[in-house]
């Protein structure tokens, strides 16, 4: 059994996340994003790889969208309405609520401002959203008979989720984008420890180790405060949702504490609308926000006003939140052009900007303070390392926590991903891959076979049956060597069954005792025997006429031997049973059979009366003991 | 109605067929109805018990038992009868195993029956290995009720950690945690087995199992550490630390909290690893290190880098519980390394900005703790955050901030100035904090004398009266600055104080307010005297005139300094030198102080050392005690044995020192190692004999004093018994019982309230009755009883007389021996001086030769003259068994027979009771005359 993983987007790059995973015949598409850096066909994933016939509804079991960012959902209306996918789509409630806003905003920018050809219309968005099934956190959804999916909290943005998918015994987790440290308004990712074959994780910051968020907060506040204190204007380009809310909470708190009166503006109606959604979806925010909710809603910002275009060149200090985040166009670019020539002003840049945007240009020019990009850029730049993505340690921590059998890295830059891949393989010993776009990858999975169990076996499983063994480290092979394994605990109640596979029957586990019966055979035991002679010096009556020792004498001789054995083998229970001596499975008795098949050595016809034969028999397990006993009895002639 | 129901139920209960739900409900209604008469209840009980014991009614034991437990719950007075019935039911051979847990839960383990099912190992084991999971879970959850050998328990628990059911694994781990607190395991491989098994379960899929595993790893890790030798102990401690660090990245908040709690309990960690917990990047020092443990389910070596960023992750956590716990763990660990503290300060200062009050408070506590250990290095960049907390709108936070501030060392004048400004702003915004702010100002002033002087000079204009002659002392700022000013002369920095004396006279006008702020430091009279002393010099002469006394002051204040250190452990405010400094100041002002009042103060302060002892900060305790002893000795001038109350106090301090050491030894070495045992036993032995001496050699002890000493004796015995390995177990049990009798006797004489500790011991002793080895089974209770003990204030009611003796032999020394003839008796002339010994006392001269048994000669005091206060006489004592040697020496001392001790000695013609030596042994040298 294998999991087949076809990467349509975000393979060794950031943008248009889209991975199609086939598990035991079920095909799931995780995310359906678009690339913001391209305007040609490269902006969408190459859907033709899924099905040559373009019958997507039949070839996919479902689509799962992790969150509402365009690089994760941007291509969805196109795929459903234009390409004609008609199957189930799953996303969380907030994603379902916020995604249309994002899509509509994007469509407007594309069509209305740039005058581009429309890829999908408003109706398309509405129709597409009608097909969506909303899910809650940790709610298990049975997509069809075999396919189960479940969402886990991922942080990142409002409503972001990691998805767990299970078909039969194969299970995977697709993380989407996530954050392992909480921020002002969202919590950290939270997931159960699951048995997984594969984890597909983002790796935006595959090699970055971020410092404490407190340092970043302090630096940001300091920079903003310094700017407004000197009468400058602060431009904070952000995505409408997520960072805007976080930074705003931070600033609002700071304004309150420091008693600042400088206005904070939100540029578009969108952000204010988004704030409203945040208020409604408070259940998806961090514990902190939930806790304060009892007294006040943390998204009721006290110092925030909405912005009017006429205020761009108004005198005096201000702070402005504007979209889009990477200054790729739109209002933030407009304001940036206006404010850039003044060196008193400040622009903050997000931690990551897609190549080709103004933000990326600003970043790649040698920072820190003043740069000249075009003729007229004088503005100060503060780079925000606030990021809703986890850093390298976070990725490692999550992978370590989940300990899957394989890891696939997506949504990152190749050189960094290679470093992370090597780290995962060497440090955690987990196989790791980083497929490129359009590449397909097969991963072996666990496959369990169902077996029936007999009643006796089930009964034996119910009662504990543990053993303690002392093992030496030498017994374990080197890779699994532990320096001090010493005492180990085993509970054998399950492992002690016997698996029987018969033709034309399903496999069955039976108890050891039933095994013989099931096979219909008798139990055989291998026994060893040895017959040997011992000279007994006749002490008192040399003239005894009997050729063979008398019965009574035999008895006393046996008794003598058993006493001797008792002395020599103090650890064993020596049973003297008149006719024979028994120690564990070893039975020692006189042998009067002249033609005893076990007799070794030359059998003398004329029997010396001082000579006695002993016959011993034992089972294989007591071989060593038996020979000790034989040696001990043979020594008898020397002793006496 | 009641009767009708009863008759119906009676008939159904007697029948053999199953109890129908309807009749069960009828019985239940009778039970729960508060108006049901006693007779009905009791007949109902009988019927139920009959049915329970009936071997034919197989199938509905559970129903009957649950009815019985309802009955027991609603009518506790029937509990005893129900317990008896359940007990009988358990012993029936026909009883099915699944019914046993239910029946057992009806018993009260505190009242054992003759055949106690709770100590029946075979019953225990059969329940454990019963195939029903529910039964297994019940037994694991109720482990503490069973009195089964620890070796059996540990085996069962260890086995169950492999159970396929997560709840069983969890319960087994909880059981192991419980067990780890009460047992002594000497087999290192067993402890290791448990530890590594718990470590494996840190990777369990079920989070409740992981949570229990964190606790188990912590507890068994500590047991493991105790078993390891000094060399590997550090290594293992680090291994445990790193292993627990792994868990702080669990996605379950509760597990993270538990992990931080466990981290806070670790006592030694390498500095490298601690530093790694603050850095995300791998540090060079930890790069290659690996420890035994488990990194993932497959990897059995844990790299030191697993500790990376632990504390920052914790402090950044989403849940305030985790942040608080992380803060608390930091508090415990910052003690270990100054460099680590230095790094932690940066994060902590940011935490002061946290939105949760609890976290801010804990952060301040941690800072306070760091300051106590001189590990707090405040930098200028921190000041904004740090002093910001002084203006917090929460009073608790402000108070905690001041507490942290008062021991903070500030490097620069500018920092000190902003600190003072912060405090003044605090005072202006929250006048209700005035007293505390004055206190803090005084304290930081004392530690920053130089800065104070320069600040006061800067602002002296402000303090002067305005031109119209009015003093603006009602201004809060002025008052605060005055407090600062008056702290300068007692500065610990020995700087020359050049504050204009008139400032002190201004301060006098605010006497009331100042003294309420400094109430913990000195009282109003002392303050007044001090202020007038400082202000009586005019113009520049202050410094010179004052310097001489300043030195004196500093000397006394080093004592204060010591206090400062001991304050490290969140003490009640009264820990400050409220009274001790009073005599110090007073001394300076030439007021006469009597030794007795000083003794009183010291005895009063001793009580406050108890929390320190409990925290095992013995260095501080010993230092403090030593300084007190020196202080007290000053009064006793030149007498050999400081007499009376003073002597008593000195001995008392000595005993407290022994107690402290023994206590620390006992509690730090719960997993007693042999060498430590020896130390502990020696300490306890010393303490016992000192206590006995105190009891016997002081005439005039009041009942309270006696009880106090007896209680300490009880503590010593309990310590010895509960470490369990003492060689004279029986003896000590008898001793303990004797002392308890004495206590009882003293208690009967007058109504004295006994401490919880003594009460508990009495209870234990009562329960055991006369059985000889009963105490062995009560060891855990004995151990627990120790937690009830706390040191009380001993009040000396009157004059005490010290029973003392001196013995000497005229002109006898090694060079000048007494003559003797081998084999013949020799007479030795002793010069004996006795102090405070009444004529009824049975005194003996004990003479020992080498290690051999002693010879006793009785001293009949009535034969000698002199008063009780002092007797001096010469006594010719014979020594009979002179050895066949040319010369030898004897050890002679005077001993008093201690009548209160019951122990009989088997010396013929010798003392019948235990002896207390009244003087040190005196060597007497004898030699054959040279012809």
Residues A204 and A239 in one domain: no
Q: Is B497 on the interface with A (CB under 8 A)?
A: no
Interatomic CA distance for residues A513 and B897, integer angstroms: 78
CATH superfamily of B803-927: Macroglobulin (MG2) domain (2.60.40.1930)
Is A507 a domain residue? yes
Half-sphere exposure of A2 (CA within 13 A, CB side): 7
Residues of chain A found within 8 Å of residue B160, distances taken between Cβ atoms = 464, 466
Q: Is B281 in Cβ contact with A466 (below 8 Å)?
A: no
B86 contacts B105 by C-beta, under 8 angstroms: no
Catalytic residue among A4, A118, A202, A413: A202
* Averaged pLDDT for residues B369-387: 85
Residues A362 and A238 in one domain: yes
Interatomic CA distance for residues A382 and A346, integer angstroms: 7
A422 is known as an active-site residue: no
User: What is the per-residue pLDDT for B202?
Assistant: 94
Q: Has residue A550 got a pLDDT over 60?
A: no
Closest residue of chain B to A391, computed from CA coordinates: B280
Is A488 a domain residue? no
Is A241 a domain residue? yes
Interatomic CA distance for residues B619 and B335, integer angstroms: 15
CATH 1.25.40 region(s) of chain B?
1-118
Residues A436 and A351 in one domain: no
Summarised one tens digit per residue, pLDDT across range B540-552 is 333 333 333 433 4
User: What is the per-residue pLDDT for B465?
Assistant: 67
Under 8 Å CB-to-CB from B451, ≥6 apart: which residues? B410, B413, B416, B417
Q: Is A403 in Cβ contact with B297 (below 8 Å)?
A: yes
The band of B559, judged by pLDDT with boundaries at 50, 70 and 90, is very low
What CATH number corresponds to the domain at position A607? 3.30.310
Domain B120-276, CATH among 3.90.1150.10, 1.25.10.10, 3.30.420.40, 1.10.3720.10: 1.25.10.10
- In this complex, the residue of A194, A466, A487 whose CB is nearest that of residue B193 is A487
pTM: 0.69
Domain holding A623, by residue range, is 527-539+549-635
Domain boundary among A351, A383, A415: A383
User: What is the per-residue pLDDT for A552?
Assistant: 65
Residue B645 vs residue A423, higher pLDDT: A423
What distances in angstroms separate CA A345 from CA A155, A217, A628, B575, B838, one per listed residue?
A: 32, 19, 97, 56, 97
The three-class DSSP label of residue B396 is helix
What distances in angstroms separate CA A443 from CA A17, B197, B767, one per listed residue?
A: 20, 32, 69
% of chain A at pLDDT higher than 70: 88
Q: Is A464 in Cβ contact with B159 (below 8 Å)?
A: yes
DSSP, residue by residue, A424-453:
IIIII--EEE-PPTT-EEEEE-------EE
Residues A520 and A534 in one domain: no
Identify which of B611, B615, B616, B660 has the alpha carbon closest to the alpha carbon of residue B790. B611
Summarised one tens digit per residue, pLDDT across range B410-459 is 888 899 999 998 899 888 888 888 888 988 988 888 888 888 888 888 88
> Would you state the structure tokens that stand for residue B25, as one six-digit string?
């409900």
Question: Looking at CA atoms only, how far is residue A419 from chain B in angstroms?
Answer: 15
Residues A360 and A299 in one domain: yes
Residues of chain B found within 8 Å of residue A250, distances taken between Cβ atoms = none
What CATH number corresponds to the domain at position A278? 3.40.50.10890
- By CB atoms closer than 10 A (0-12, 13-18, 19+), residue B702 is middle
E strands, A48-190, are: 62-64, 89-92, 132-135, 140-142, 147-153, 161-167, 170-174
Interatomic CA distance for residues A324 and A305, integer angstroms: 19
> Would you state the structure tokens that stand for residue B839, as one six-digit string?
């004529």
Which range has the worst mean pLDDT, A21-25, A168-172, A205-209, B798-802? B798-802
What average pLDDT does the structure give for chain B?
79
CATH 2.60.40.1930 region(s) of chain B?
803-927
% of chain A at pLDDT higher than 90: 29
Residues A91 and A236 in one domain: no
What average pLDDT does the structure give for chain A?
82
Is A467 a domain residue? no
Residues A13 and A24 in one domain: yes
Q: Is B309 on the interface with A (CB under 8 A)?
A: yes
Residues A233 and A186 in one domain: no
Residues of chain B found within 8 Å of residue A491, distances taken between Cβ atoms = 159, 162-164
The band of B175, judged by pLDDT with boundaries at 50, 70 and 90, is very high
What distances in angstroms separate CA B445 from CA B373, B432, B561, one per listed residue?
A: 19, 21, 14
Domain count, chain A: 4
Residues A168 and A19 in one domain: yes
CATH class, range B1-118: mainly alpha
* Averaged pLDDT for residues B370-374: 85
- A-to-B residue pairs, Cβ atoms closer than 8 angstroms: 133
The band of B237, judged by pLDDT with boundaries at 50, 70 and 90, is very high
A143 contacts A88 by C-beta, under 8 angstroms: yes
Residues A86 and A158 in one domain: yes
Is A607 a domain residue? yes
Q: Has residue B61 got a pLDDT over 60?
A: yes
Q: Which of B86-95, B338-347, B518-527 has the highest mean pLDDT?
A: B338-347
* Averaged pLDDT for residues B259-282: 91
Domain boundary among A349, A364, A383: A383
The three-class DSSP label of residue A334 is helix
The three-class DSSP label of residue A496 is coil
% of chain B at pLDDT higher than 90: 14
Interatomic CA distance for residues B477 and B454, integer angstroms: 17
Is A482 a domain residue? no
CATH 1.25.10.10 region(s) of chain B?
120-276, 309-409
Residue B646 vs residue A93, higher pLDDT: A93
Find the helix or strand (DSSP H, E) in which B88 lies.
Answer: helix B79-91
User: What is the per-residue pLDDT for A486?
Assistant: 63
> Would you state the structure tokens that stand for residue B530, as one six-digit string?
């001090």
CA gyration radius for chain B?
A: 36
Half-sphere exposure of B654 (CA within 13 A, CB side): 16
User: What is the per-residue pLDDT for B48?
Assistant: 85
Q: What angle do helix axes A551-568 and A623-634 make, rounded to 10 degrees?
A: 120
Which range has the worst mean pLDDT, A590-594, B16-20, B321-325, B755-759? B16-20
- Give rounded-to-5 percent helix, strand, coil for chain A: 35, 25, 45
What CATH number corresponds to the domain at position A45? 3.60.15.10
Q: Is B131 in Cβ contact with A459 (below 8 Å)?
A: yes
Question: Looking at CA atoms only, how far is residue A126 from chain B in angstroms?
Answer: 36
Q: Is B250 in Cβ contact with A401 (below 8 Å)?
A: yes
CATH class, range B309-409: mainly alpha
Interatomic CA distance for residues A272 and A342, integer angstroms: 28
């Amino acid at each position: 059994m294998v999991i087949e993983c076809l990467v349509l987007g975000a393979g060794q790059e950031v943008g248009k996340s889209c991975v199609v995973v086939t598990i035991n015949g079920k095909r799931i598409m995780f995310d359906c994003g678009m690339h913001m850096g391209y305007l040609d066909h490269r902006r969408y994933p190459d859907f033709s790889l899924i099905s040559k016939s373009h019958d997507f509804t039949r070839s996919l079991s479902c689509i799962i969208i992790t969150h509402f960012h365009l690089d994760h959902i941007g291509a969805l209306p196109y795929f459903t309405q234009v390409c004609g996918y008609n199957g189930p789509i799953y996303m969380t409630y907030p994603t379902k609520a916020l995604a249309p806003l994002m899509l509509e905003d994007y469509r407007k920018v594309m069509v209305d401002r740039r005058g581009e050809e429309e890829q999908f219309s408003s109706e398309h968005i509405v129709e597409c959203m009608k097909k969506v099934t909303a899910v809650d956190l940790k709610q298990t959804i049975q997509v069809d008979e075999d396919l189960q999916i479940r969402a886990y909290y991922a942080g990142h943005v409002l409503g972001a989720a990691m998805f767990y998918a299970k078909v039969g015994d194969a299970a995977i987790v697709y993380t989407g984008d996530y954050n392992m440290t909480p921020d002002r308004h969202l919590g950290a990712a939270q997931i159960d420890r699951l048995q997984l074959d594969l984890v597909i994780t983002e790796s935006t910051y595959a090699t970055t180790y971020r410092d404490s968020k407190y340092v970043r907060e302090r630096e940001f506040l300091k920079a903003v405060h310094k700017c407004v204190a000197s009468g400058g204007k602060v431009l904070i380009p952000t995505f409408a949702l997520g960072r805007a809310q976080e930074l705003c909470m931070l600033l609002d708190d700071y304004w309150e504490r420091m008693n600042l009166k400088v206005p904070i503006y939100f540029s578009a109606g969108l952000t204010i609308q988004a704030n409203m959604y945040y208020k409604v979806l408070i259940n998806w925010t961090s514990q902190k926000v939930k806790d304060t909710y009892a007294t006040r809603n943390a998204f009721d910002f006290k110092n925030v006003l909405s912005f009017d275009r006429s205020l761009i060149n108004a005198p005096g200090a201000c702070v402005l939140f504007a979209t889009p985040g990477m200054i790729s166009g739109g209002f933030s670019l407009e304001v940036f052009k206006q404010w850039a020539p003044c060196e008193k002003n400040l622009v903050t840049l997000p931690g990551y900007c897609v190549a080709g945007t103004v933000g990326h240009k600003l970043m790649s020019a040698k920072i820190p303070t003043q740069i000249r990009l075009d003729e007229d850029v004088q503005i100060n730049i503060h780079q925000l390392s606030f990021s809703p993505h986890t850093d390298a340690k976070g990725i490692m921590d999550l992978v370590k926590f989940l300990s899957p059998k394989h890891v696939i890295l997506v949504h990152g830059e190749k050189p960094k991903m290679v470093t992370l891949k090597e780290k995962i393989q060497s440090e955690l010993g987990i196989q790791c891959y980083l497929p490129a776009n359009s590449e397909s990858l097969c991963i072996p999975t666990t496959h369990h076979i169902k077996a029936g169990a007999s009643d006796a076996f089930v009964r034996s499983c119910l009662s504990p049956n543990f053993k303690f063994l002392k093992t030496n480290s030498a017994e374990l092979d080197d890779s699994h060597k532990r320096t001090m394994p010493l005492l180990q605990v085993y509970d054998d109640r399950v492992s002690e069954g016997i698996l029987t596979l018969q033709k034309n029957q399903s496999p069955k586990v039976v108890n050891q005792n039933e095994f013989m019966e099931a096979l219909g055979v008798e139990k055989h035991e291998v026994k060893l025997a040895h017959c040997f002679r011992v000279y007994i010096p006749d002490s008192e009556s040399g003239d005894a006429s009997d050729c063979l020792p008398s019965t009574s004498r035999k008895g006393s001789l046996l008794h003598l031997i058993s006493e001797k054995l008792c002395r020599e083998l103090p650890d064993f229970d020596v049973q003297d049973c008149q006719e024979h001596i028994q120690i564990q499975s070893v039975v020692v008795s006189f042998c009067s059979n002249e033609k005893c098949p076990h007799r070794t050595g030359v059998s003398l016809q004329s029997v010396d009366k001082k000579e006695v034969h002993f016959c011993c028999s034992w089972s294989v397990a007591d071989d060593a003991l038996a020979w000790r006993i034989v040696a001990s009895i043979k020594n008898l002639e020397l002793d006496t | 109605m009641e009767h009708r129901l009863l008759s119906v139920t009676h008939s159904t209960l007697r029948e053999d067929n199953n109890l129908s739900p309807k009749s069960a409900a009828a019985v239940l209604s009778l039970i729960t109805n508060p108006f049901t008469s006693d007779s009905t209840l009791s007949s109902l009980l009988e019927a139920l018990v009959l049915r329970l014991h009936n071997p034919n009614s197989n199938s509905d034991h559970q129903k009957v038992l649950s009815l019985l437990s309802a009955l027991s719950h609603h009518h506790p007075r029937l509990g005893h009868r129900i317990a008896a019935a359940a007990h009988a039911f358990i012993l029936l051979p026909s009883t099915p195993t699944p019914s046993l847990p239910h029946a057992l839960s009806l018993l009260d383990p505190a009242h054992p029956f003759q055949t106690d099912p709770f100590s029946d190992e075979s019953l225990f084991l059969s329940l454990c290995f019963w195939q029903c999971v529910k039964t297994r879970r019940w037994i694991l959850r109720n482990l503490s009720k069973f009195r089964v050998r620890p070796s059996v328990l540990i085996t069962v628990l260890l086995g169950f950690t492999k159970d396929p059911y997560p709840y069983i694994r969890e319960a087994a781990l909880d059981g192991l945690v419980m067990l780890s607190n009460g047992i002594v395991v000497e087999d290192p491989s067993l402890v290791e087995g448990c530890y590594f098994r718990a470590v494996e379960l840190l990777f369990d899929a079920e989070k409740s199992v992981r949570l229990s595993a964190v606790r188990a790893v912590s507890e068994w890790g500590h047991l493991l550490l105790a078993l390891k030798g000094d060399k590997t102990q550090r290594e293992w401690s680090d291994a445990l630390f790193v292993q627990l660090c792994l868990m702080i990245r669990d996605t379950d908040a509760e597990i993270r909290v538990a992990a931080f709690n466990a981290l806070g309990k670790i006592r030694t960690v390498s500095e490298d690893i601690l530093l790694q917990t603050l850095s995300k990047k791998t540090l060079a020092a930890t790069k290659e290190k690996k420890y035994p443990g488990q990194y993932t389910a497959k990897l059995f070596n844990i790299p030191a880098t697993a500790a990376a960023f632990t504390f920052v992750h914790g402090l950044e956590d989403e849940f305030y519980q985790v942040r608080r716990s992380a803060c608390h763990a930091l508090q415990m660990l910052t003690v270990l390394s100054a460099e680590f503290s230095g790094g932690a300060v940066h994060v902590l200062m940011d935490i002061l900005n946290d939105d949760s009050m609890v976290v801010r408070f804990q952060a301040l506590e941690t800072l306070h703790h760091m300051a106590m250990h001189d590990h707090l290095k405040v930098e200028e960049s921190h000041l904004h955050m740090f002093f910001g907390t002084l203006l917090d709108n929460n009073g608790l936070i402000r108070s905690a901030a001041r507490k942290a501030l008062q021991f903070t060392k500030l490097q620069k004048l500018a920092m000190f100035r902003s600190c003072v400004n912060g405090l003044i702003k605090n005072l202006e915004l929250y006048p209700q904090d005035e007293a505390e702010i004055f206190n803090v100002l005084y304290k930081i002033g004392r530690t920053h004398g130089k800065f104070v002087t320069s600040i006061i000079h800067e602002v002296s204009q402000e303090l002067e009266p305005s031109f119209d002659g009015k003093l603006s002392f009602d201004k809060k700022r002025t008052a605060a600055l005055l407090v600062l000013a008056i702290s300068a002369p007692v500065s610990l920095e020995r700087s020359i104080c050049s504050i204009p004396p008139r400032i002190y006279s201004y301060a006098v006008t605010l006497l009331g307010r100042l003294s309420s702020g400094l109430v913990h430091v000195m009282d109003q009279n002392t303050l007044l005297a001090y202020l007038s002393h400082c202000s009586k010099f005019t113009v520049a002469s202050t410094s010179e005139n004052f310097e001489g006394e300043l030195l004196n002051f500093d000397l006394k204040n080093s004592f204060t300094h010591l206090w400062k250190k001991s304050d490290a452990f969140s003490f009640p405010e009264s820990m400050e030198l409220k009274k001790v400094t009073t005599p110090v100041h007073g001394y300076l002002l030439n007021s006469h102080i009597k030794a007795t009042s000083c003794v009183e103060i010291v005895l009063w302060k001793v009580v406050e050392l108890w929390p320190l002892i409990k925290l095992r900060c013995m260095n501080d305790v010993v230092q403090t005690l030593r300084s007190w002893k020196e202080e007290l000795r000053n009064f006793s001038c030149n007498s050999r044995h400081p007499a009376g109350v003073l002597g008593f106090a000195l001995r008392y301090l000595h005993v407290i020192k022994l107690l402290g050491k023994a206590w620390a030894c006992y509690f730090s070495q719960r997993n007693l190692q042999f060498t430590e045992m020896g130390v502990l036993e020696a300490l306890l032995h010393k303490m016992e004999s000192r206590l006995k001496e105190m009891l016997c050699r002081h005439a005039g002890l009041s009942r309270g004093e006696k009880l106090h000493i007896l209680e300490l004796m009880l503590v010593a015995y309990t310590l010895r018994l509960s470490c369990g390995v003492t060689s004279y177990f029986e003896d000590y049990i008898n001793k303990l019982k004797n002392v308890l009798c004495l206590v009882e006797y003293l208690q009967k004489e007058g109504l004295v309230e006994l401490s919880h500790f003594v009460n508990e011991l009495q209870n234990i002793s009562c329960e055991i009755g006369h059985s000889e080895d009963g105490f062995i089974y009560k060891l855990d209770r004995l151990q627990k009883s120790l937690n009830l003990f706390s040191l009380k204030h001993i009040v000396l009611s009157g004059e005490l007389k010290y029973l003392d003796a001196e013995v000497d032999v005229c002109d006898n020394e090694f060079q000048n021996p007494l003559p003797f003839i081998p084999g013949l008796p020799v007479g030795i002339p002793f010069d004996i001086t006795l102090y405070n010994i009444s004529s009824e006392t049975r005194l003996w001269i004990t003479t020992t030769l080498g290690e051999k048994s002693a010879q006793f000669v009785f001293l009949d005091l009535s034969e000698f003259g002199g008063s009780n206060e002092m007797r001096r006489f010469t006594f010719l004592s014979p020594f009979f068994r002179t050895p066949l040697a040319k010369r030898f020496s004897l050890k002679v001392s005077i001993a008093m027979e201690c009548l209160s001790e019951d122990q009989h000695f088997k010396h013929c013609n010798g003392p019948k009771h235990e002896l207390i030596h009244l003087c040190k042994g005196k060597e007497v040298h004898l030699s054959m005359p040279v012809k």
